[in-house]
Amino acid sequence: MAWQPETPPLDLVAEGGETISGESADMRTTHLAALLLAASTVSAPLSAQERPASLVGSGVVPSTAGNSAERPIVFSATPTSPQALIIPVMAPLAIAQAAPGLPAERADAIQQAAAAAGFEPAAGKTLKLHGIAGIPTVLLVGMKPTSALPSANDLADAAGTAIQALRDEPRDITIAAGGLAAGSARSLGLGARLGQYRFDSLKTGRMAPPQNPVIIVSPDAAAEGAAFAADEAHVADATRLARDLVSLPANMLYPERFVEIVREAFSAVPNVRITVLDEAQMRQLNMGSMLSVSQGSRRPGRMLAIEYRGAGNAAPLALVGKGITFDTGGISIKPNTNMWQMKGDMAGAAAVTGAMLAVARRRAKANVVGVVALAENMPGGNASRPGDVVRTMNGQTIEILSTDAEGRMVLADANQWSIRQFQPAAIVNIATLTGSIVQALGSDFAGLFARSEALATRLEAAGTASTERLWRMPLLPVYQSRMASEIADIRNVSDGAGPGAGLGAHFIQYMTPQPTPWAHIDMAGVRRTESALPTVPKGSRGFGVRLLDQFVRGYEQP
């Protein structure tokens, strides 16, 4: 029976609270009754497409703006009269040596002012001076006094620290690189590019910081500028892409939109092929593990592969990332506290995407494929339940004890498909997989699990070289018994307490066919930073782009 409005009551309450008899108030209530009847029986004309069946979300885009422009990086061999001057320095402080292009009287004035302030150079330490020797702003930024040749990372950190300190400087900024070793300017450029990143596209009435150029003055400026444009600039742009992806809210970034952004980013990049599997294609391949995660959401999942070939017919490296664009936990729903951060549960996919962009744009002499498993993990009438059993592409069965252990589920099918489709020389997973790794390593390291010692060694070296550090974690045979299922091949979590990060890694290893060398990076603790780091402003770190790019460099052909 259709809903009918109730009969208006006989007794009405007047505005002042006095009861009015229906019999004595006929004339006074006629208009009100008419209004009530009209409101209950008449509605405004509705659009035929008031809420299309295909509509997901509100249909109103929060913003179509991009992030505000950043300062361009310029290389120059000719010193100019600086408006704002950054001088990277080491102990013992010697301004004349650190900035040889600076007139002697200016170098002496800065030296004396720094001495009067008691400044002693050290990594990350800065001193800002105003109006010294006619220069409006001078910033001294310290580096490690460990040798006369700072590393590329020391230089990038110094530039990133300095550019953040001068974020609101309303002038051109000059970085003095003349006192540094040849090849230093490009590393300063990387730090300056990474350090000034911001995500402000969703702020209305934003006040963008100044966009005056950063001018790096070096005697070999032409060569350094060309090298930067061919290499570090691409790594910085790729890191920026990863940071943007992780920062976007889930109503703006979902599997289909992720694919669109990837297509846009790679549209003009040579030697790249993009393959996308929709849910119908994944069903044909029996990817039940992957589909079990996306089935509760109105946003369908996607399996995305980005292939880059720069080394002939050599077997590719496979980089496989977890791409959960939002993770409620599904039926095993998470508590509300900090659930908003689960928009970043696709940081592994962002890292893989960014690394592939860096590798392809700098034309690496290697073959690499990046695979990202994209899904939204939501509760709903069609969502997976604890106790369900699903199968992977290879036919292995999984008993789901927790729908909140979904990352390993999508990686199971992603790894199996990657091996069958691309026959890689090695496969590396990267994922915000477990809270356990955060408890173990905090925000200082990502956890590294591997069944190949050679692969682990390469990844650890790449982590050190890129400053995105890894800490090796154990994979023990006993984990298999802790994950055993009575009715399926394996459970997706242990029924009880245990080393959660190791058990999650074991599950992925179990699902990854031998003999392919395999490693897994659990980056849950390093996805974002709550306070600025030298080359990372507060927020998304874009972790994994520099690490994986460096890893690929170790395989490049001469």
Q: Domains along the chain?
A: 74-199+210-230 (3.40.220.10), 248-553 (3.40.630.10)
Distance CA 346, CA 302 (A): 13
Q: In the β-sheet with 490-491, what is the strand arrangement from edge to edge?
A: 389-391, 397-399, 490-491
Distance CA 547, CA 239 (A): 11
Distance CA 410, CA 167 (A): 40
> For this structure, is 458 an active site residue?
no
Residue type, 118: G
User: What H or E segment, with its residue span, contains residue 530?
Assistant: none
Residues 6+ apart with CB under 8 A from 504: 405, 407, 408, 433, 434, 436, 493, 522
Q: Can you give the pLDDT of all 558 residues of the chain as single tens digits?
A: 343 333 333 333 333 333 333 444 444 444 444 444 444 444 545 555 688 888 899 999 999 999 999 999 999 998 888 899 999 999 999 999 999 989 999 999 999 999 999 999 999 899 999 999 899 999 999 998 766 689 999 999 999 999 999 999 999 999 999 999 999 999 999 999 999 999 999 999 888 899 999 999 999 999 999 999 999 999 999 999 999 999 999 999 999 999 999 999 999 999 999 999 999 999 999 999 999 999 999 999 999 999 999 999 999 999 999 999 999 999 999 999 999 999 999 999 999 999 999 999 999 999 999 999 999 999 999 999 999 999 999 999 999 999 999 999 999 999 999 999 999 999 999 999 999 999 999 999 999 999 999 999 999 999 999 999 999 999 999 999 999 999 999 999 998 888 999 999 999 999 999 999 999 999 999 999 999 999 999 999 999 999 999 999 999 988
Do the Cβ atoms of 88 and 180 come closer than 8 Å? yes
> For this structure, is 144 an active site residue?
no
User: How distant, in Å, are the alpha carbons of 52, 70, 203, 541 from that of 197?
Assistant: 38, 7, 15, 10
SS3 for 547? helix
β pairing state of 389-391 and 397-399: antiparallel
Distance CA 320, CA 413 (A): 11
Distance CA 158, CA 558 (A): 31
**What secondary structure, in 3-state letters, does 18-80 show?**
CEECCCCCHHHHHHHHHHHHHHHHCCCCCCCCCCCCCCCCCCCCCCCCCCCCCCCEEEECCCC
Do the Cβ atoms of 294 and 255 come closer than 8 Å? yes
Closest CA to 504 of 488, 526, 520: 520
β pairing state of 84-89 and 135-142: parallel
Q: Name the residue with tokens 């946003």.
A: 299
User: What H or E segment, with its residue span, contains residue 444?
Assistant: none
Q: Which two tokens stand for residue 249?
A: 């809210």
Do the Cβ atoms of 189 and 234 come closer than 8 Å? no
The catalytically annotated residue of 361, 408, 491, 527 is 408
Amino acid 148: pLDDT: 66
Amino acid 48: pLDDT: 59
Distance CA 342, CA 361 (A): 30
Amino acid 339: pLDDT: 96
Residues 6+ apart with CB under 8 A from 531: 538
The catalytically annotated residue of 334, 363, 469, 472 is 334
Task: Note if the pTM is more than 0.95.
Answer: no
90 phi/psi in degrees, rounded to 5:
-130, 160
User: How distant, in Å, are the alpha carbons of 199, 219, 258, 324 from that of 343?
Assistant: 15, 45, 13, 8
